[in-house]
């Protein structure tokens, strides 16, 4: 009886293998993609305080004072997210002799109100420098666009499947596998040289334009045609 059970199990596995082979008949892989240009609604700015001194203690005090001042200014502005970034110090060496020290600390700012953040950045340039600036689509806005594009991309996928079926004289099709992927292509990050930013007046608001990001939804999968 045990041998019969094992044999029955082997036959079941063989039948399943044949069934898998049959699923591969008249199968077609296809893809559809929908892309929409979306206005960026979130501004990100990275700034830092930088100094060079012979005394490492005075260097640390200078960086700390600059950052404390910047944090006090930033905390007075509503609608701006504030994070302190990396803090680094490193020696200045000449002929293997340490002649001084350099140091810097980063301040990362984010806001959905570009006008407010631009004014704040202009104010902070009195003692900090701009490292980089970029714009993104907020999570809420991006999700809303993706959800709308998913619906359109799925309709396009089915339409293409129908076109393929009609061309090959199929009675219809069924979806064997389908995948939905989303992506966002952001504009390049803007970087500003330290000396250029230092030449601006502290009260000047930074001139910015958020631009657009491309939000895309890709649907790919496999269909099986019912061909007589």
**pLDDT tens-digit readout, 33-92:** 999 999 999 999 999 999 999 999 999 999 999 999 999 999 999 999 999 989 999 999
Q: Measured in Å, how far apart are the chain's first and last C-alpha atoms?
A: 43
Residues 6+ apart with CB under 8 A from 228: 169, 171
pLDDT in tens, 127-183: 999 999 999 999 999 999 999 999 999 999 999 999 999 999 999 999 999 999 999
Task: Give Cα 72 to chain centroid, integer Å.
Answer: 30
Contact 136, 51 (CB under 8 A): no
Other C-beta atoms within 10 Å of 26: how many?
14
> In Å, how far from its chain's centre is CA 28?
32
How far is it, in rounded angstroms, from Cα 30 to Cα 26?
A: 13
Residues 6+ apart with CB under 8 A from 151: none
What is the dihedral angle through the alpha carbons of 116, 129, 192, 197, rounded to the nearest 10 degrees? 90
User: pLDDT for 2-42, tens place per residue?
Assistant: 434 443 444 444 455 555 555 468 999 999 999 999 999 99
CA distance 221 to 157: 9
Token pair belonging to 89: 């110090």
pLDDT of residue 186: 77
Check residue 96 and give its pLDDT.
Answer: 86
> Is there a contact between 31 and 161 (Cβ–Cβ < 8 Å)?
no
């Amino acid at each position: 009886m045990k041998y019969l059970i094992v044999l029955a199990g082997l036959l079941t596995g063989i039948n399943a293998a044949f069934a898998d082979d049959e699923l591969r008949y008249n199968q077609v892989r296809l893809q559809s993609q929908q892309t929409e240009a979306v206005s960026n609604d979130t501004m990100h700015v990275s700034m830092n305080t930088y100094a060079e001194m012979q005394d490492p203690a005075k260097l640390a005090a200078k960086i700390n004072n600059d950052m404390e001042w910047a944090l006090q200014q930033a905390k007075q502005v509503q609608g701006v997210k504030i994070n302190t970034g990396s803090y680094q110090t490193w020696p200045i060496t000449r002929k293997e002799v340490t002649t001084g020290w350099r140091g810097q600390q980063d301040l990362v700012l984010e806001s959905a109100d570009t006008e407010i953040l631009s004014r704040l950045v202009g104010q902070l340039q009195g003692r900090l420098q701009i490292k980089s600036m970029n714009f993104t689509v907020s999570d809420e806005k991006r999700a809303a666009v993706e959800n709308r594009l998913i619906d359109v991309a799925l309709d396009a996928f089915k339409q293409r499947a129908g076109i393929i079926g009609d061309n090959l004289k199929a009675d219809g099709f069924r979806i064997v596998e389908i995948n939905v992927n989303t992506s966002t292509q952001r504009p390049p990050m803007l970087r500003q040289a330290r000396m250029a930013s230092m030449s601006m007046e502290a009260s000047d608001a930074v001139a910015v334009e958020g631009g657009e990001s491309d939000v895309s939804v890709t649907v790919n999968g496999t269909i099986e045609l019912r061909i007589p």
